[in-house]
Amino acid sequence: MSQDYASIIVDFPLFKGYTTDGAQALLACGEVKELEPGEILFKEGDPPLFVLLVLKGSLQVYVERSGRDLVLTDSGPGTIIGELAVLCGIARSASVRSVEPAAVLQLSATSFRSLLLRNTFLSERVFGQALRTLIEKEQALIAELTRS
């Protein structure tokens, strides 16, 4: 099974240039979890104990406000989720659940940080993706405030 996921990982833009052996090494750093629809992976306010790499399926990032779930984004294969909380050492800012049958690679906070320290090429990509996400959220917030 890990061979199948290794061949999937090398096709993700974030891991462009990785070999199947490199993807196998990445998989060895964490634990693959198969998910059923509706499984909650973490909740807003939880401590940042791990990072998720979506391998297949779709995860939904959401917050609960006034008794309603507000979906922030859907995350598909190749997306890393939870990295900002782990890198900043802050509680989760949103909850995450599976939308359909899915699989993730769960990396402990320690393993994730160690991976980034050992692999500057990956670090640049992860930080670049995280910063782009933050900028897009800021732009969306500014646009919403301007419309209001």
6-20, pLDDT tens digit by residue? 999 999 999 988 999
* 46 in any annotated domain: yes
* 115 in any annotated domain: no
Among 54, 111, 99, smallest CA distance to 80 is for 54
* 29 in any annotated domain: yes
The model's pLDDT over 100-133, given as tens digits with 9 standing for 90+, comes to 999 999 999 999 999 999 988 889 999 998 888 8
Order of strands across the sheet that contains 80-81: 31-35, 102-108, 50-56, 80-81
Question: Which pair of tokens denotes residue 142?
Answer: 């500014």
The model's pLDDT over 39-87, given as tens digits with 9 standing for 90+, comes to 999 999 999 999 999 999 999 999 999 999 989 889 999 999 999 999 9
The domain that holds 135 is classified in CATH as: 2.60.120.10
Number of domains in the chain: 1
